[in-house]
């Protein structure tokens, strides 16, 4: 009996939280224990005047022990992480990806991070987008500054204006990870494949910088899809590429479905689709719903020369309310009743 009572006494005092796994090193386990106990004492002892705060317990995902707790203890102590928080870097998403958490913890703000931020600022990247840049690509701090300078010089030598370079670096955090050789090969590929001249390549790179560093397999598949399966010829493809480069980044199966609906069911010719490429960037269900609604109203006329013409651009732009009132010239109740019959 005495032994049992002692056991209970021992287990009560040294109560280890079952949630903290045993394979973690001892210091982290003790740190986690500390924060856990302190949270409990906070809610029981103190009088919370703010009613909302008292009842706003951490949600289930926060109570569950995840690797975020490691940052919990270190956010308050590491000046680098604090500076990152000030810049607006999303530490939570960095931590999710393997290996990046350890890397960012090891960075020293003055020595490692600041030179890069000054460099980016010299290129014209606004300070507000630093947070997003670092969130998406923290490994940029691994690259040598000389390499970065070489890559920027390459772009300058290819006659990219300062505005274009600024757009490239702001919208594509991964551009600077590619060596000069790779970027050169990619730009050359786009130039040869789509018969673009120098100005076109620069325009394309600044309009959609992500396309240049996109997965080559995906781009090849999308080009095949647009050329063979949809039946556009070379000039039309060039026109599409320069007006809506995003088409090459969409999943090609979905793209084919949308094109099939737009071309066969809605009756839009190739010329109309080149004039209004937005039709191919909207999701298929939206096209279907809106076209069928217009068809029941008798307004599904996409030929500009005939009466009751609706522009395909209006078909896909705006939310449902805007579409129903301005384009279909009807009211939302009719549209809802129509949708519920499908």
Partner 1 sequence: MSLTKVYDAPTVFRHLNGIMNIYKPAGMKVKHVKNAVLHNIAKDLNEMKVREPRKLHTPLLEPGGDANPLLRKINSIDLADHILATGPRYQISDIRCALVAGLGIHTSGVLLFGINKGINQSQQVQRNRPVRAYHVTGRLGMATETHFPDARITVRADYRHVHPDRVSALAASMQASHQRKMYELCGVDLQSQAAYEIACKGLLRPADNTQPVIYGIKLIDFQRPDFTLEIHAINECEEYLASLINEVGIELRTVAHCTSIRCIRHGHYGVETSLLRHGWNLRGVVKNMREQRQVLQKHPHLINQDKIELRND
Enter the tokens of residue 63: 């109570």
Q: Give the H or E element holding residue 29.
A: helix 26-45
Contact flag: residue 333 with partner 1 (CB under 8 A): no
Q: Of 140, 168, 172, give the one whose Cα is nearest residue 152.
A: 168
Q: In this complex, which beta carbon is closest to partner 1, that of residue 48 or of residue 220?
A: 48
Applying CB under 8 A, among 7, 28, 85, 260 the residue interacting with partner 1 is 85
Contact flag: residue 108 with partner 1 (CB under 8 A): no
Q: For partner 1, which stretch binds (CB under 8 A), given 85-93, 104-112, 240-248, 270-278?
A: 85-93
Runs of H (alpha helix) within 76-229:
79-87, 91-96, 100-105, 114-122, 130-136, 145-157, 162-171, 180-194, 198-207, 209-212, 216-224
Buried (b) or exposed (e) across 74-101, using 16+ Cβ within 10 A? eeeebebbebbeebebebeebbeeeebb
Q: How far is the CB of 199 from partner 1 (least distance, A)?
A: 40
Q: Of 289, 285, 280, 287, give the one whose Cα is nearest residue 241.
A: 280
Q: In this complex, which beta carbon is closest to partner 1, that of residue 11 or of residue 35?
A: 35
Contact flag: residue 29 with partner 1 (CB under 8 A): no
Q: How far is the CB of 320 from partner 1 (least distance, A)?
A: 4
Contact flag: residue 287 with partner 1 (CB under 8 A): no
Enter the tokens of residue 180: 């000069």
Q: In this complex, which beta carbon is closest to partner 1, that of residue 64 or of residue 182?
A: 64
How far apart (Å, rounded) are the C-alpha atoms in residues 194 and 182? 18
Contact flag: residue 143 with partner 1 (CB under 8 A): no
Q: Is 137:173 a contact under the CB 8 Å cutoff?
A: yes
Q: In this complex, which beta carbon is closest to partner 1, that of residue 212 or of residue 294?
A: 294
Applying CB under 8 A, among 7, 10, 127, 339 the residue interacting with partner 1 is 339
Applying CB under 8 A, among 22, 44, 215, 341 the residue interacting with partner 1 is 341
Query: Which residues from 47-66 bind partner 1, rule CB under 8 A?
Result: 52-53, 55-56, 59-62
Enter the tokens of residue 266: 């809605």
Query: Which residues from 65-84 bind partner 1, rule CB under 8 A?
Result: 68, 71-76, 81-82
- Site for partner 1, rule CB under 8 A: 35, 38-39, 41-42, 52-53, 55-56, 59-62, 68, 71-76, 81-82, 85, 88-93, 285, 319-321, 336, 339-342
């Amino acid at each position: 009996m005495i032994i049992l009572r002692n056991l209970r006494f021992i287990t009560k005092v040294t109560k280890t939280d079952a949630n903290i796994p045993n394979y973690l090193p001892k210091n982290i386990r003790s740190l986690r224990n500390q924060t856990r106990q302190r949270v409990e004492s906070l809610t029981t002892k103190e009088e919370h005047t703010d009613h909302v705060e008292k009842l706003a317990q951490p949600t289930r995902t926060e109570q569950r022990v995840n690797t975020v707790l490691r940052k919990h203890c270190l956010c308050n102590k590491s000046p680098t992480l604090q500076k990152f928080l000030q810049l607006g870097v999303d530490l939570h998403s960095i931590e999710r990806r393997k290996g990046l958490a350890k890397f960012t913890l090891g960075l020293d703000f003055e020595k490692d991070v600041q030179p890069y931020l000054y460099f980016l600022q010299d290129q014209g990247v606004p300070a507000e987008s630093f947070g997003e840049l670092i969130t998406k690509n923290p490994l940029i701090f691994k690259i040598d500054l000389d390499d970065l300078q070489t890559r920027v010089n390459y772009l300058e030598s290819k006659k990219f204006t300062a505005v274009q370079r600024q757009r490239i670096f702001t919208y594509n955090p991964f551009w600077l990870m590619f060596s000069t050789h790779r970027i050169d090969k990619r730009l050359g590929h786009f130039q040869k494949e789509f018969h673009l001249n120098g100005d076109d390549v620069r325009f394309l790179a600044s309009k959609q910088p992500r396309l240049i560093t996109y997965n080559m397999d995906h781009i090849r598949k999308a080009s095949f899809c647009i050329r063979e399966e949809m039946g556009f010829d070379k000039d039309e493809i060039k026109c599409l590429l320069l007006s809506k480069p995003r088409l090459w980044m969409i999943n090609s199966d979905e793209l084919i479905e949308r094109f099939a609906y737009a071309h066969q069911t809605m009756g839009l010719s190739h010329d109309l689709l080149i004039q209004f490429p937005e039709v191919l960037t909207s999701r298929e269900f939206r096209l279907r719903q809106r076209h069928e609604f217009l068809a029941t109203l008798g307004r599904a006329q996409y030929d500009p020369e005939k009466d009751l013409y609706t522009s395909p651009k209006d078909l896909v732009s705006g939310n449902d309310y805007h579409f129903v009132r301005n384009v279909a010239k009807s009211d939302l109740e009719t549209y809802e009743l129509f949708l519920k019959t499908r």
